[in-house]
Amino acid sequence: MELYDDNPTIDFLKQDKKIDEDKQGNVFFKEELVDTSNQKKFYIESYGCAMNFSDSEIVASILLESGFHPTKNMEESDLILINTCSIREKAEATVRKRLRIFDKAKRNKPGTLVGVLGCMAERLKTKLLEQEKLVDLVVGPDAYRDLPKLISTAEEGDKGVNVFLSREETYADISPIRLQSNGVSAFISIMRGCDNMCSFCVVPFTRGRERSRDAFSIIAEANDLFNQGFREVTLLGQNVDSYKWENPETKETVNFAHLLEMTAKVNPLLRIRFSTSHPKDITDEVIHTMNKHHNICKYIHLPVQSGNSRILKLMNRTYDREWYMERVNSIYKIMPDCAISADIITGFCSETEEEHQETLSIIEFAKYTMSYMFFYSERPGTLAAKKYPDDIPLEVKKRRLSEVIDVQTRISLESNKKDIGKTFEVLIEGVSKRSDLDFKGRNSQNKMIIFPVVEGYQPGDYINVKVNEVSSATLKGIAIA
Ligand code: SAH
Ligand code: SF4
Ligand code: F3S
């Protein structure tokens, strides 16, 4: 579910608040219902993790309220926004490349404002204005409510900057405008920030302190999505297992397991996913709650980062290899049909070949169905940048990464081969990218399954599909009535 910097950019479809429902209850936005020709238009691109994509939906909502209308055509926009990621050097380089393109658009349509939002805005602050002359707005992840004011400032010729990090902001009351939505799955942000200090990671600096969102506002959002026709929600946070919210009236504390259960009860036809779990925090209570509810998907993204205890210690992950393996065992014991995936970093400071081998072996041990794999990229200001030399040569980092990818591809294929002959309940997401004659959808384990379109079925419907062919990335099958 993560959408890291290597994933393609999204812009989004023109939408309007006036909606129309088809017989499935899926929502269609009818742009022709409203004359938007005189309205100011904004265009937005998002990079990075799912949190950023979810934030862009909040930004869209705030802008719509203040009279801006979305466009997917950069050339006709009055305001170009880019929601940025700082996680690796490459992510920032991609953003800088996009800024060059915006520069051209700005020259063709003088008066157009360019705003940098998100993690890179937060990391570089006003330095960004010195480095990138075309930028008019720099807005950090906790300052989006201030956007209308900052835009007015920029329209008057000054720079609009707000990179204040809040201890409270969760945007709980803002109804996100679903961008590029398939009308079936949606993100719900349940917390912001991160209090873990993984030594390689820039997120605590760009997103600030961890805070959990009001549980009732989360449930209300899930209900609302279900009523609009959505059938799957993904609860988002950097470390969802440390979700904790106190009901101000009853003083009762809602933890992540409780929240999962509350969301599962919204409707049995609403699938629940979540991301990301931290191995130090995922509890048996969470695993048992997942097991208890059919509509909580049997899939856990459990980033390991490294399979070696010394490296994990340097990374400040606060668990070791044994702890991680015990968590994996616990998951498979309670839910034998659960799928696990991971994030992996190769070539972290001082990593030896033997230590790298332990990362390869943990992939085999945990039998990840897939992984997001990266080579280490030193980030300015992080603990690792301050304390440990980035001493593994780039070719070695890359060679280790390709070994990790090879093992993961083999393990993914093995896992998929075991699915041949099995029948899964699939939530139809739409037609397949390759052919209109095929549907695509996922099973509970988050595996994508492609199968021939069945008459009478539509996106948002559940259907049983028997798998008959697999690759390392997808399953193919046939629907069973
Ligand atoms: N909160 C999540 C992950 C957030 S960042 C968690 O704790 O698991 C997503 C992934 O990017 C991380 O899991 C890590 O694998 C990778 N990553 C983060 N910083 C990195 C860096 N400096 N170099 C390479 N990969 C990095
Ligand atoms: Fe970064 Fe670690 Fe927080 Fe994840 S848990 S966002 S890797 S500091
Ligand atoms: Fe990137 Fe910020 Fe997410 S650094 S991964 S967009 S929290």
- How do the domains of the chain map onto residue ranges? 9-162, 185-417, 423-479
**Residue 428 to residue 441: CA distance in whole angstroms:** 4
**Residue 441 to residue 245: CA distance in whole angstroms:** 33
Of the ligands numbered here, which is closest to the C-alpha atom of 88?
1
357 Cβ neighbours under 8 A, 6+ residues apart:
none
pLDDT of residue 246 exceeding 80: yes
Instruction: Report, at the CATH architecture level, how domain 9-162 is classified.
Output: 3-Layer(aba) Sandwich (3.40)
pLDDT computed for residue 148 by the predictor:
97
Of the ligands numbered here, which is closest to the C-alpha atom of 379?
1
Tokens at residue 365, please? Answer: 């041990």
pLDDT computed for residue 180 by the predictor:
77
What angle, rounded to 10 degrees, do the helices at 321-334 and 353-366 form?
10
Phi first, then psi: give them for residue 187, nearest 5 degrees.
-90, 145
Q: What is the DSSP string of 86-125?
A: -SSHHHHHHHHHHHHHHHHHHHHSTT-EEEEEEHHHHHHT
Ligand 3 atom with the shortest distance to the CA of 207: 7
Mean pLDDT of the region 122-128: 96
Alpha helices in 265-347 (DSSP H): 284-292, 309-314, 321-334
pLDDT computed for residue 150 by the predictor:
98
Q: Which residues form ligand 1's pocket by a CB distance below 6 Å?
A: 87-88, 200-201, 203, 238-239, 276, 278, 303, 305, 343, 345, 374, 376-377, 379
SS3 386: helix
CB 98 within 8 A of CB 82: yes
Q: What is the DSSP string of 175-207?
A: ----TT--SSEEEEE-EE------TT--HHHHH
Cα(175) to centroid(ligand 3), Å: 22
Which residue out of 7, 195, 201 has the highest number of ligand 1 atoms within 8 Å of its CB and is therefore the one to mutate?
A: 201
In this predicted model, what pLDDT tens digit does every residue of 396-415 receive, in sequence order? 999 999 999 999 999 999 99
- The secondary structure of the chain in percent helix, strand, coil, rounded to multiples of 5, reads 35, 25, 40
CB 170 within 8 A of CB 207: no
Ligand 3 atom with the shortest distance to the CA of 84: 6
26 Cβ neighbours under 8 A, 6+ residues apart:
183, 184, 229, 458, 459, 460
pLDDT of residue 89 exceeding 90: yes
pLDDT computed for residue 250 by the predictor:
95
Mean pLDDT of the region 82-99: 97
Q: Which is more confident, 180 or 246?
A: 246
Tokens at residue 62, please? Answer: 């705030």
Q: Which helix (H) or strand (E) holds 429?
A: strand 423-431
Q: Which protein residue has the closest C-alpha to ligand 3 atom 1?
A: 85
pLDDT of residue 23 exceeding 70: no
Could you please state the CATH topology (level 3) that the domain comprising 185-417 is classified under. Answer: pyruvate-formate lyase- activating enzyme (3.80.30)
Of the ligands numbered here, which is closest to the C-alpha atom of 51?
3
Tokens at residue 318, please? Answer: 């606060």
- Quote the DSSP letter at residue 472: S
- Fold equal for 9-162 and 423-479: no
Determine if the pTM surpasses 0.95: no
Prior bond to 352 cis, omega within 30? no
Tokens at residue 23, please? Answer: 């017989």
Strand partners of residue 447: none
pLDDT computed for residue 321 by the predictor:
98
pLDDT of residue 13 exceeding 80: no
Residue length of the chain: 481
Ligand 2 atom with the shortest distance to the CA of 204: 8
In this predicted model, what pLDDT tens digit does every residue of 175-216 receive, in sequence order? 999 977 899 999 999 999 999 999 999 999 999 999 999 999
Report whether residue 198 contacts ligand 2, using a CB cutoff of 6 Å: yes
pLDDT computed for residue 179 by the predictor:
78
**Residue 94 to residue 47: CA distance in whole angstroms:** 9
Q: Which helix (H) or strand (E) holds 34?
A: none
**CATH number of this structure's domain 423-479, picked from the four choices 2.40.50.140, 2.120.10.30, 3.30.365.10, 3.40.640.10:** 2.40.50.140
pLDDT computed for residue 29 by the predictor:
34
In this predicted model, what pLDDT tens digit does every residue of 430-444 receive, in sequence order? 999 999 999 999 999
In this predicted model, what pLDDT tens digit does every residue of 309-320 receive, in sequence order? 999 999 999 999
Q: Which helix (H) or strand (E) holds 443?
A: none
- pLDDT tier for residue 37 given thresholds of 50, 70 and 90: low
In this predicted model, what pLDDT tens digit does every residue of 265-278 receive, in sequence order? 999 999 999 999 99
Average pLDDT value for the chain? 92
Compute CA 405 distance to the chain's CA centroid, rounded to the nearest angstrom. Answer: 21
- pLDDT tier for residue 36 given thresholds of 50, 70 and 90: low
- pLDDT tier for residue 296 given thresholds of 50, 70 and 90: very high
Which residue out of 2, 49, 52, 87 has the highest number of ligand 1 atoms within 8 Å of its CB and is therefore the one to mutate?
A: 87
Distances (CA, A) of 190 to 54, 183, 221, 239: 11, 20, 11, 10
pLDDT of residue 242 exceeding 80: yes
Q: Which protein residue has the closest C-alpha to ligand 2 atom 5?
A: 196
Cα(4) to centroid(ligand 3), Å: 8
